[in-house]
Structure 1
């Protein structure tokens, strides 16, 4: 709960003060909306503070949020223990591994290591579901070293996810190679696997299999059409309530 200089994080002290104030006013019999007006806080935030007697439950959600640096902290800690405490050098190393954050983030973490205000990072931290999904949906050839390693660790720990990755990448191969004829075999493999989350997707493909097969086999895409539809919707919403159909038509044609 400390910042990069070893001081208590501002958000922690703010939450502690707000929780104390809400609990005190609530004990006096004040209504939630009355407390909201007096403290100038959102009603739902006041309700959350009022319903939570143990403030640590709220602090956990804030202080244990994952950051872009989490996947690289083990590497940074290892390099720091090896004697490398140059934050600029370490930033370049993790940047080459795929880190997309700022140099200041690495500087702050190394500063905390020097001050001894944080414990060593865990040997392995499960990734956020959204991050794992991005790893799965990315072409393996485009994954950075850290992302590829993270995905491999997840696949080893979860056989179902490992099978899902194999099937998703197989379907991506059908799309890249325009292999519509391979769709029935792919669906059959999904049926044989104990993966209910993919069965529903396969059901949708089977309901319109001829169209899906044609779409996979053709080198043409509807992306251009979808892009023009999106552009027309954007122009329409930008002039909603301020322009008529004639002006919309002119804007679409002139920006084509």
Structure 2
């Protein structure tokens, strides 16, 4: 039936979904850049973790001389006694006290003997798997031909094995395009720290992405806040981005300007009509092509009765 006084109202959900589809399509063209961003972020995080692990101070058990070093540094900090008096009080050589005065940390110059180098990977593997008894490790490498005595091996463990840091391998997580889209449309206070770093890196890598996201929220606000007069200004700003898909979308909106503006004016929506059309399409695809028109009629009658 023809209703000349009726006004056409575009469906708000489809208007927003069409713009979302443009952004998704735009991101699809930058998959390699998204992968590069993920790789760079993962590499940076791995370097930070590596630096943190390597900078951790590992305290070794005090020896006779390291304990003397601490006492010398404490007395030096107090500044009341001379090197001669400190040496006499601690029973040390004055030259040794002088050397300790110049150092910030106790020197541990235990070099790794050639014997241990042969077994270092095996020793570290045992240590990594939870074996913390130096004597048990010594017994196991003795079975493999190690010839040094236990006291020597114990010193090796103190200086080399306990101070060894295992750096985890670099792992790169590549998000799906759906995850990228979801993260992009989250507000900054809704994102995790990792997600915020990822999106900021995407802004730097992908041209116009930040502006495109801003245009999306401006467009959505036109309908949520009922501001149809802002639509022409938005169309101009959208065209300025020179994105092919966005230009096509703007052209479609301009051709149907009144219906789109009405979507920002009225509460009415054609969502019900869209729902009925979807039901019809579903019924058609379920059997109309095979069962012909009589089957479609029966399906529609059942649907109307429901």
Task: Give me the TM-score of the superposition, normalised by structure 2.
Answer: 0.40
Structure whose alpha-carbon radius of gyration is higher = 2
Task: Give me the TM-score of the superposition, normalised by structure 1.
Answer: 0.46
